[in-house]
Amino acid sequence: MAEHNDDAFSDDGLHFDDAQLEAALSDFEKEFQEQETSQDHGSDEAGVADSGSDDSDMVHAAEDALRFDEDLEGLLGNRAKVAMLITRITAAELLAAFCQISDISATCVESHQGAVALLHNLDGDGPEAAARDLTQVVSGLGVILAVNRADKLETTVYLDGNAGQTMAPPIVFTTTEPFVEDLMLGIDTPQGVIDSGRPVHESGDLTTEQAYDVLAKYLHTKWH
């Protein structure tokens, strides 16, 4: 008959002796360390993911801040929402060449009523400077500068580097294609006009030499 071991179990059969208790504690400690290691590894991975997320959030925040600054400048009138030079030049390529040699950055859009230069520099008096420069460089060329500042529309005739008569925008719009009015009123965007499939030419895509080659091709034939 097996002997009853009082050291191994108490009468209720639920208590460990010292050796069993030590072994149980050792197993528990080992399991706890393994769990901590697993959690630390997961935290490291989460930290990497959080770092990537933080970088993305910072980029979006910077973009939002830039858009806010531009919108604020537009509301204050320090930056035009849109500005364009309306001409009677039939070819957008020719207008882009004129803009290039006049050091004007613009997207030139072809139109049956005359090509239009959508100005890139909308800060301060940048649009007015562009109108002066273009009409000074191209002697005899008259343009209408149309500007939207803080939702106030202004259309002014420029000739030989000087501002002339101010015209009522609705009158100007009767002599232009609908996209001009849509842009000025904020109904459309420059990118929307480009995406519409109209022929467009960027003045910045031309070198000075290329611009003069374009002038030689069009002069006396399509410029009037």
* Residue recorded with tokens 């343009």: 143
Q: Check: CB of residue 161 under 8 Å from CB of residue 97.
A: no
Kindly report whether the global pTM for this prediction surpasses the value 0.75.
no
Helix, strand or coil, per DSSP, at residue 221: coil
Tens-digit pLDDT profile for the chain (224 aa)?
444 444 444 444 444 456 655 665 566 566 656 665 656 555 555 555 555 566 666 655 555 555 555 555 555 558 999 999 999 999 999 999 999 999 999 999 999 999 999 999 999 999 999 999 999 999 999 999 999 999 999 999 999 999 999 999 999 999 999 999 999 999 999 999 999 999 999 999 999 999 999 999 988 654 44
| Paired tokens of 107 | 């997207």
Instruction: Tell me the C-alpha distance between 129 and 159, whole Å.
Output: 13
DSSP code, position 216 = H
Report residue 9: phi and psi, to 5°.
-135, 150
Instruction: Tell me the C-alpha distance between 164 and 162, whole Å.
Output: 6
Short-list 125, 58, 134, CA closest to 95: 134
